[in-house]
Amino acid sequence: MKLATKSSLNFLSVALFTFLFGIIAFYYTLRFQVDKFINNELNIAKVAFFEKSDNLSSLEGTYLGACQLMPLKSVANLNDTLVHFQDTLILNPQTKKLLPYRQMTFVISTKHSAFEVKIIRPLEETDRLIINLFLFMTLLVILLILILLIINQYSSHQLWKDFYISLDKINKFNLDTQTEIDLPETEIKEFEDLNTVLCLMSKRIASDYSRMKEYTENASHEIQTPLAIINAKLEMLLQCKELPEKQYQIIADASEASDRLARLNKTLILLTRIENRQFPEMETIFPQEIIERQLENYEEIIQSKRIRLSTSFEPNVSIQMNPTLSEILFLNLIKNAIRHNIPNGLLILKLDEKGMEIANSGDILKVNSDLLFNRFYKSTKSSKSLGLGLAIVKKITELFQIEINYEYKENLHRIYLQFPPK
């Protein structure tokens, strides 16, 4: 839930609660005040009634201001001198409707008899007034809450705008291309603090990252020379005449291991260099040329594995890429498709304007295919391959916005490259 929505909801729940109680309290206060006013009026009418009370019978049914005197009723009890107020409904003889009245009841006594006096005051108008006032107030409060809600939403949207801009920038931050996050200035202190911290953090991460890359590259290069010495010494050792076969074997094993280490190191340097974007030159590359050249290079291997090769090229397909990396990209894909192929398997290559598909026969992957492009991923533990070929492919495709997908369909491992639109 968004912060603005959350705070609006909080506001709304409190506001509705207060509004409900407020409006009830308002109604009763109003009612009370009006009753007091009416009672007052009735009291005035009572005073007027006493002024004219010498001729009681002539007063019956007459009006005293807004009040009306009801017919007198003789009662026995003289002691009841209290004045009663009550709301009542009285039938209007003309309209045959029950109308609300406030009624004042008291007893007066003459020399020989006692009468109950009822003075009534119509409430129709005041009731209408109360209802109108009540409705008006309700409307006003609802309107106020709505306006506040809208203002709240709008202003929080405005307030958080800088935050969302920052968030977007952090989201798009790429260590390979940027050294720090460029965050906009903001008037809000909290966000300004956040941006400052983020900027500092990104700078530190970027500098750590570049130091680490530099270190990796330097270390790898430094390893090359001692490796060269080991290789050369072992090769010299192999040239010794009359070496017992057992020692030959030992040297050969050591030599194989150091060769493997050398290849691994070279490949890691290549990966680092791709990540460090040290292949800036761009050229128009014709993949068909490269693919055909490489297939020729592996011709004999393809034949001896009895791999059935099928290629289809749309003529003059080109792509903007670094020439070295394009060689490595197609080489690795082709090598991969040959290495993991089975005897009498298929190797299918399709190239068109949109992209390339390379497919080879082989058993289904035993491990998650999402890991296929990870470093040091190997389909089988025993495989002597380095497990870096497809990691390099992935890195290169990322660099040139080529989309790469893998699928296992109809007993074929299929890798699709989707070239970026021109």
Residues at the site binding another protein, with contacts judged by CB under 8 A: 221-222, 224-225, 227-233, 235-236, 238-239, 245, 248-249, 251-252, 255-256, 258-260, 262-263, 266, 269-270, 273, 278-279, 296-301, 304, 324, 328, 331-332, 335, 339, 383-386
Cβ distance 287 to 331 under 8 Å?
A: no
Choose among 150, 216, 176, 143: nearest CA to 398: 176
Region for 399 from its dihedrals, namely left if φ exceeds 0, alpha if ψ lies in -120 to 50, beta otherwise: alpha
- List Cβ neighbours of 362 (8 Å cut-off, separation of 6 or more): 340, 341, 342, 345, 411, 412, 413
CB of 241 to another protein, least distance (A): 9
Least Å distance, CB 254 to another protein, is 11
Whichever of 39 and 324 has its CB closer to another protein, that residue is: 324
Q: Tell me how far, at minimum, the Cβ of 222 lies from another protein, in Å.
A: 8
Q: How far is the CB of 156 from another protein (least distance, A)?
A: 53
Q: Residue 16 or 232: which CB sits closer to another protein?
A: 232
> Which of residues 180 and 217 has its CB atom nearest to another protein in the complex?
217
* Pairing label, strands 403-409, 355-361: unpaired
CB of 212 to another protein, least distance (A): 19
Nearer Cβ to another protein, position 127 or 217?
217
Enumerate the β-bridge partners of residue 356: 351, 417
Q: Which of 133, 130, 148 is nearest to 16 (CA)?
A: 148
Q: Give whichever of 161 and 378 is closer to another protein, judged by the CB atom.
A: 378
Tell which residue, 304, 378, 377, has the closest CA to residue 345.
Answer: 304
Which tokens in the block code for residue 416?
A: 């699709």
Taking residue 307's Cβ as centre, other Cβ atoms within 10 Å add up to 20
Q: From the CB of 261, what's the least distance to another protein, in Å?
A: 9
Taking the least distance from each CB to another protein, the nearer of 168 and 222 is: 222
DSSP conformational letter for 366: S
